[in-house]
Structure 1
Amino acid sequence: MNIGMDIPYLDNPIVVSLYLGLLAAATTSLGALPVAFSRSTTWRHLDVALAFSAGVMLVSSFTSLILPAIEISKSFLIVSLGILAGVVAIRLIDRFVPHEHLYAGYEGPAIGKKLLKKVWLLALAVIIHNLPEGLAIGVSTAYSIPVGIATGIAISIQDVPEGLAVALPASATGGVRKATVIAILSGLSETLMAVLGAVLFTTFSILLPIGMGFAGGAMLYVTVKELVPEIYREEHSELKVTAGFITGFLLMLFLDSAF
């Protein structure tokens, strides 16, 4: 599908990545609105929404990144090295950057828990999630603008529950205003990574297969290690959570086929 190619600048992957990154930041901020406007906002259905996000991330890591990378490189080894590098990179960030997950608790150096308030630890956890998502937008757009648009739209949709996921605990520990600011900042981190990814892999296109594998591996790590254990923490919600996961899975498949 030829999307927007007659509109000025929409044939430039860097500009398109900027727009898509800003869209992702906007939807992350949108997710925080219920907290900003209603004190009665609760955790209800948040695990289902995060399961939806996991479904989107799992499919996009393969259909938008890993499989196209293998196709253009004709080398499973090169892409595999990129995947492993992405996994190792996020693992190192997990280990050395202080942050706190909604249910799994604190991760990172022990000193970080003493130096940073809980509201910022929770924000850092979401930012860590957002980095590979932003990179995925930039790299997939550098590969193909239509693929990047499909990836950016899907990630922007699943960023709504992620915005709520950071705003809810942040509001409980730091107030509504601070929760809203943190949600906006976490979304803008995605914009930054989208643009950086597009600039890097448009400039050094020979590295594109490795970059696509890297982004795919990073998203796989976040999905399997972080999101899946958290969304299945409560046995009574298994059916709803699985339904949310499949919905996100199918949405990403649809967008990839449509674009």
Structure 2
Amino acid sequence: MFVDLLSLHPVVLALLATGFTWFCTAFGAGFVFFFRTVPRPVFNAMLGFASGIMIAASFWSLLLPSIALSENAGQTAWLHVSFGFLSGGLSLYALHKLLPHLHVGLEENRLEGGKSSFQRSLLLILAITLHNIPEGLAVGVAFGALGEGFTYEALMAAMVVAFGIGIQNIPEGAAVSIPLLREGFTAKKSFWYGQLSGFVEPIGGLLGAALVFYVESILPFALSFAAGAMIFVVVEELIPESHTGKETEMATLGAMFGFVLMMALDVGLG
């Protein structure tokens, strides 16, 4: 299998990997055919789990390699990585201000972004779609980095990022499809729009992979940029949403297990 993968262009690998993460979103959206609702503690644990995975992936899979590459290039690592990290976070901040969206579990009069006459259902879809932009970018950058040197270790590191993102996309897919069912959509339509929210990941993956593959000098910046964007999503969206209701301990435990899982995958395999 490894030999076959070696014959593929890193950008093609990024497309395949983000196709996998999109499939995971669709898998989670498919829960709508079996459940009309998710108990709040379970939902909080799912979002917490996704948060833990994204935090761990941001550090081990993105920030640490960015620091190492900056140091190897003789750059001032802390300055370059900080600039990339803040750029990623501020870019997502700008998108949040520009695009109207609704946090899962919040009332319509508490929507964020620009003013909108969109239906509540569309605002829910936009919220999850915003989550998926930095995730696709992170996977794409990880595979695009293979242009620096296609080794087994580098390939495994990129695959770990894709696997981790894919795992946490499962609850995200359910997080958009099941609420749509409660909004009056049929199960089929809820599933369709739920999986469609993951469509931006292959787009982000292609963009990230092509950018760092053809302009290798920006790789440290791209890695830290993706990390900053992911951390913004975690702090702005996932953690607050996972702590709605009274039983918030499940969100904290979910985050800890998600963090440990991603850390173990990255350290053990990457």
What pairs up with 1:130-149 in 2 under 5 angstroms?
130-143=132-145, 144-149=154-159
Q: Alignment partner of 1:168: what SS?
A: helix
Equivalent in the alignment of 2:105: 103
Consecutive aligned runs of 4 or more in structure 1 exceeding 4 Å deviation: 8-11
Equivalent in the alignment of 1:93: 95
Following TM superposition, by how much is the alpha carbon of 1:80 offset from its aligned partner in structure 2, in angstroms? 0.8
Moved more, 229-238 or 67-76: 229-238
- Tell whether 2:42 aligns with 1:42: no
Equivalent in the alignment of 2:74: none
Identify the match of residue 201 of structure 2 among 178, 190, 193: 190
Following TM superposition, by how much is the alpha carbon of 1:200 offset from its aligned partner in structure 2, in angstroms? 1.0
Aligned mates of 1:161, 1:153 — CA distance in 2: 14
Following TM superposition, by how much is the alpha carbon of 1:9 offset from its aligned partner in structure 2, in angstroms? 5.1
2:36 and 2:178 in contact (8 A); partners too: no
- Tell whether 2:212 aligns with 1:237: no
Aligned mates of 1:145, 1:127 — CA distance in 2: 27
Moved more, 116-125 or 98-107: 98-107
1:43 and 1:168 in contact (8 A); partners too: no
1:16 and 1:145 in contact (8 A); partners too: no
Equivalent in the alignment of 1:220: 231
The letter for the 1-side match of 2:266 is: D
CA gap of 1:156–1:84, structure 2 versus 1, over 3 A, is same
Aligned mates of 1:153, 1:100 — CA distance in 2: 27
CA gap of 1:229–1:197, structure 2 versus 1, over 3 A, is same
Following TM superposition, by how much is the alpha carbon of 1:147 offset from its aligned partner in structure 2, in angstroms? 1.5
1:34 and 1:41 in contact (8 A); partners too: no
Identify the match of residue 167 of structure 1 among 177, 182, 186: 177
Equivalent in the alignment of 1:26: 23
Following TM superposition, by how much is the alpha carbon of 1:230 offset from its aligned partner in structure 2, in angstroms? 1.5
Q: Alignment partner of 2:111: what SS?
A: strand
Q: Alignment partner of 1:6: what SS?
A: helix
Q: Alignment partner of 1:187: what SS?
A: coil
- Tell whether 2:160 aligns with 1:153: no
Q: State the Cα RMSD in Å.
A: 1.5
The letter for the 2-side match of 1:67 is: L
Aligned mates of 2:169, 2:80 — CA distance in 1: 30
Following TM superposition, by how much is the alpha carbon of 1:151 offset from its aligned partner in structure 2, in angstroms? 0.4
Aligned mates of 2:93, 2:230 — CA distance in 1: 11
The letter for the 1-side match of 2:38 is: T
Following TM superposition, by how much is the alpha carbon of 1:33 offset from its aligned partner in structure 2, in angstroms? 1.2
- Tell whether 2:194 aligns with 1:179: no
1:99 and 1:125 in contact (8 A); partners too: yes
Following TM superposition, by how much is the alpha carbon of 1:11 offset from its aligned partner in structure 2, in angstroms? 4.9
1:5 and 1:11 in contact (8 A); partners too: no
- Tell whether 2:66 aligns with 1:69: yes
1:101 and 1:122 in contact (8 A); partners too: yes
| TM-score under structure 1 length normalisation | 0.92
| TM-score under structure 2 length normalisation | 0.88
Q: What is the count of residue pairs matched by the alignment?
A: 251
